[in-house]
Amino acid sequence: MNSIDVLNLLDQKTEFMDSLSVVADMGCGKGQDSFWWSTRKDVDDKPRNLFVFSVDRLLQIDNHYRHKNLRFVKEDYSNTTIAKNRVDTVWAYNSFQFSTNPVKTLRHWWDIMNTNGLLSISIPQTNYIDDLSRWQMTNPSGVLWPHNMCSLIYLLAACGFDCAEGHFRQKRHEDMIHLMAYKSEFRPMDLEDASLYLLDEMKLLPPSASACVKKFGMLRHEFLHLEWLDGTICDLAIESIP
C-alpha cells in the first residue's frame, strides 16, 4: 500500500476532509503528497484550498508538484517554526524512521497540532515476513531506531496520541505499517513515567492492546487485532505466522 492508496482512503472520509484547513507533510521529499493535499476538491468539485506546510531538511521539491497552497519549509521536522495548535493533520509517509529522536519528534508534532488533530505515520518495519515466508530484518542507512507495531502504539500513546480510536494496518509480505491516531487531551509524558498500565488507565491503547496489558503486562504482537480505515481487521496472529 503506497501513499496514494492511503490518501485515497482518507479522501473518502468526507466529514474528515471537510474539517481540515491546514496540513503538514513531514519529510515531504519531492512534494508529491503535498501536492495531493493542496489540490483536493469537495463533493461539489470545488477546491478545498487546504494550506500545506511541506517540510523537509533537504527540500528538493519537484517543479511538477509546486502549488499556490504550498509553503515550503526547509527545516528538521522534529523542530519546525510552525506555530502551536496550527495544524489539523500531520502526514508522515516513509519519513518518521529517519528521526534521530522519535520522542522529541512526536512531542513537537503534538504541540503544533490542533485539538483532535490526526497524525498519520507510515513506516517500514525493521522485521517482517517476505513473499517466501521468511523473516526479514532490515537496517537501512540513516535509520537508527527499530520500529514495529507494538513499539509504535506505545510510543504514540506515551506522546499524547489516542490509539484507542486510531487506525492501523499491517499485512503479511508488506514491510510497511500504517498508523493513524488523534491528538488526545493528555500532554506527552516522560517515558520513565509512561508505563503501559498507566496508558491503559488513560484509555489511550487500542482494545486488544489493553487486553494484552491486563493479561501479560506487555504488548504482544500476535494478540493485536487492529482496525484499518476501510473497516478491515488486521489479525496479527495470522499475519505473523508463515
Grid cell digits, residue 49: 484550498
- pLDDT at residue number 156: 98
Note the pLDDT tens digit of each residue in 102-149.
999 999 999 999 999 999 999 987 776 666 777 777 777 788 888 889
Grid cell digits, residue 89: 493533520
- pLDDT at residue number 131: 67
Across the range 13-21, mean pLDDT stands at 96
For cell 494484552, the residue is 212
Q: Residue 61 — pLDDT band, cuts 50, 70, 90?
A: confident
Query: To the nearest 10°, the Cα dihedral for 144, 153, 124, 122?
Result: -120
- Report d(CA 82, CA 3) in Å as an integer: 24
- pLDDT at residue number 170: 87
Closest CA to 97 of 59, 128, 126, 55: 126
Across the range 12-26, mean pLDDT stands at 97
- Report d(CA 66, CA 213) in Å as an integer: 46
Residues 6+ apart with CB under 8 A from 60: 29, 30
Superfamily of domain 3-239: Vaccinia Virus protein VP39 (3.40.50.150)
- Report d(CA 231, CA 223) in Å as an integer: 18
Question: In this prediction, what percent of the chain has a pLDDT beyond 70?
Answer: 95
Q: Residue 221 — pLDDT band, cuts 50, 70, 90?
A: confident
